[in-house]
Each structure stands twice: as C-alpha cells, then as structure tokens.
Structure 1
C-alpha cells in the first residue's frame, strides 16, 4: 500500500501555528456557516470525522489534530499532556479562525476537553455536541500525591521505551483495529493513514508517547460538577450501547445526575461516528446544529 497522509477529497487541509505549536486540521464547509470545532479522542486524530463530516449540513467544520496527535506538532520539553493545555489551544485556534462564538463537536477525550472548555468560558460556545464523552473520571483529593508520582514515573519510563515500527501499513492498520476499542478495517485505516510517519524502511506512530503517561492531576467529583454547571450552551450527548455505558457499570447513573445533559443511547461501539451508525449520528447532529444560533 502506498503511503498517503490521511486527508480526504471532501476536505481542505489547514496548517497554522498558535501557542508555539504547528497544528494540522481538516476543514469542511465554508465561512458563513455555523462554525464548529471538532476534537478527536485520545490517540486518534482528525480522521476520526472523515465519515461524519461530509454528512453534516450547514456547518463550517474544522477538525483539529490535537497537539501530539496526527500531523500536529508535539509539545516541546518533557512535561505531560494535560486537558488544560488543550483547552488553551482550542481557544487560540478559535481566535485564529476568527470565531468569537462557536459550537464544539467532541468525541471521547475531545468531548471531555470541550465540556471543560465550555465551563471555563461559557460565553464562547453556541452548543456542545458530545459523542461518547462528557467528563473525566473523578478522583479523591487524597489521591493527588500518588497520582502525581505515577505521572512522573510514567514519563520517565516512556523515555526508555522503543517505539513500535511496522514494516508496512497493513500491519499498522491491523494493530489499530485491535486497540482498546475495536475498529472496522475502514475506520482503522483512516486513523492510521493520518497517524503514522515513515521511519527507516517502515512506519511508526506520530502520536507523542508522553500521551501514554498517567494524568498529572485528577479532579474531584465536586470540581468536575462545577465545570458542567457553568456550561450555558445547549448540550447534545450521544452514547453507544457497546461503548462507555458498557465499559463502566455506573456510567449512565453519572450522566443522569446532570439534568442539563440531553442524551440519547444509540447502537454501536465507542467509535460509532466512524462506523455504520455514522448516518444516524449525522442525522441527530444535523437536527441539533440546526437549532443553534
């Protein structure tokens, strides 16, 4: 298979530098339509939206490769990746695009970043469309010292880890199919083409290994609720029966505690927006985006 970095005929490739990082993104739609910033999940990239984006109507969608993912630059130094840095970045990206107010479409970790961002500066958001993600897992404040120790130890261990090199793309795609959340070949191929770089006679992941380190800090249940309580934009949450609600026994009980979350439970797995359910997901999101001002 010939290596062509993952970009799609329907999209326009963007490159820009904000906060000292060169970002890559894919753009669908045009200026003047509803601005929507799309954020992918952990270890994914903007190809996460390759199947969904062409089905969305009346939106100017910019799907970002978050720092350390896809074709965007890695963060300098040896520090860990945090939600806070990503939140700072997305406002810088929105400012670069000239978007004073915008909607956000987030999957998994991207949905978490979006929720926290909308609780930080609620006046910037017209709506939150969340797929398989709302808030990170809470932790007890008493666990903070151990959490920091685990993060530091994890970063040190990753400095000595040899990255995987695949002799051809098909092997990398097969490895991506068998990730934490299994993917179809087509979905795995899309993420792989945008998520690898040539290395020697083969390919390795472009993802920064530091993303594998434990979080530096986890927030308490009360802190997380404070962020969500400040969200003033409409929220649409789409969950998959074979996704997070199946993985975590109490997930639905946690979601149901927040009356501002308007959720639907659909068929499919964690990446339902990339699989056969993408048409239904697009239908739900088109109705949501059409109601935003």
Structure 2
C-alpha cells in the first residue's frame, strides 16, 4: 500500500505533518476497509518500522511480520537524544514548503530518471524506471513527482523509542518475525560507517530472547535495496516463511 503522501495515495491537508504513527493509522484504515481480521505484513526500511509498530499496537491482527533490511522499531544510538532536533526540523520544513507555494516541477522522463538515480545510487536503472511508474504522473509537458514535497528525511517522521520501550514493544508482538538484513545494507546507505554495532546487537539479542523460535534472522548479499536489485536473494526465504504452517498464537 502507498502511505499518505506517497505514490497514488492522497496528500495530507496543509498543516498536518507526516509521522510514523500516522502511517500506522493508514494501515489500520486499509485493514478496516478490506475487513481483514488477521494478515501478514512485509515492509522495507521505514515501512518495516511502521509494520513493527502496527504489529505491537495491534498484535492480535498480525500473523507474520517480514522486515526487509530494517528493524521493527526505530531505535538509534543517537535517536532519543536527537528526537527533539528531528521534530523541530520536521516542523520547520513543513512550514517552509507550505509557505513557498511553488508548483510541482515538471521535467522530462529522462531527467526525472537521472535525478532519481543520483539521489538513490544503490538502485539500478531498471528498478528506478519501475519505481517511477508509480512515483510519477505524466502531464502534458513531462512528469511530476507524486510524493508530497513536505516529505523530507525519514528521521523527521520516525518515532524513536528507548531501549526499555523497545523491549516492551517486542514483548507485545504475537507474530512470527523474519528479519532479512542486507550485508551492504542500511548502515551503508544511511550511516557514514557501520562501526557502532551496539544497536544492531541489542536488537538481535532482544528479539531472540523475547520471540525465541518465532524469530528468524538471515543475512543476504547486496545492498539496502536487495529486494529490488536482486529479488532472488530474498524471495526464497520469504516464500518459505509465508508458506510455513507455523502461525502466531492468539494469546500469549
């Protein structure tokens, strides 16, 4: 599904920021419209964090949770310390974009492609063309981006939590969880280096300790966008996980 402000979904009204909890609400609205009672969630990067938050708030609804090169909750070594900075940045950016009232820029398909590749160097050209099919709209003189211009850095939208709340949230999960981590993944894209392993080690230890046999962890070759660039690296693991007879208990 496209979250609000993304793809083919409507943009939020002026004055309403894009926060992680809003996207959790988006999922709940879609589920209500489809009249689903129990289902699985698969999310990549920030989408996985939204899926993890949903799965802890509505644990009885999620059977299986698949995390593609992401964590189930937004936990970062400096996240809690910087959360006020992120919130300020999000509010200031929102005001700035809304005040500018600039029309969305129209560019040629080739220029749009090159801009996308420049800003997303880990995505292949073939995958970029596929993403732009849904991420853009054709107008008389070219293409315009569908994503709301108020969407900025992912950190602006993330609801960072403490380690204590991470453990509490993990204990709420009733789903079986599959975490597929790309070897040249998230830290190589969003961080200058991967020298601080404390966060990922804490996450792995917590999930293994809390979920036990309901947690599976697999490392796969390629980068943060492995599911786009090399889907064969993850498809087998995902298929086996979804086809397995194991289901989450209704009550723990």
TM value normalised by structure 1: 0.71
CA RMSD of aligned residues (A): 2.3
Query: Structure 1 pair 129/216, CA: closer, same or farther in 2 (3 Å)?
Result: closer
- Greater RCO (CA < 8 Å, at least 6 residues apart): 2
2:200 to 249, 252, 264: 252
Per mean C-alpha deviation after superposition, the further-off stretch among 70-79 and 197-206 is 197-206
1:132 to 46, 54, 69: 69
Shift of 1:198: 3.5
Confirm or deny: 8 A CA contact 1:147 1:217 kept in the other structure: no
Shift of 1:190: 0.7
Determine whether 1:120 maps to 2:47.
Answer: no
1:269 paired residue number: 223
Unmatched runs of 5 consecutive residues or more in structure 2 = 248-252
Shift of 1:83: 1.1
Query: Structure 1 pair 142/236, CA: closer, same or farther in 2 (3 Å)?
Result: closer
Q: 4+ residue runs of structure 1 moved beyond 4 angstroms?
A: 139-145, 161-164
Structure having the higher strand fraction is: 1
Structure having the higher helix fraction is: 2
2:110 paired residue number: 170
Alignment of 1:61-76 (within 5 A): 64-76=1-13
1:155 paired residue number: 94
2:136 to 196, 211, 219: 196
Instruction: Render the CA deviation track for 1:108-133: whole Å, top value 9, x for unaligned.
Output: 11111011111111110110011011
Aligned length: 229
Confirm or deny: 8 A CA contact 1:68 1:75 kept in the other structure: yes
Unmatched runs of 5 consecutive residues or more in structure 1 = 1-63
Q: Distance in 2 between matches of 1:149 and 1:217?
A: 13
Q: Distance in 2 between matches of 1:255 and 1:108?
A: 15
2:235 paired residue number: 282
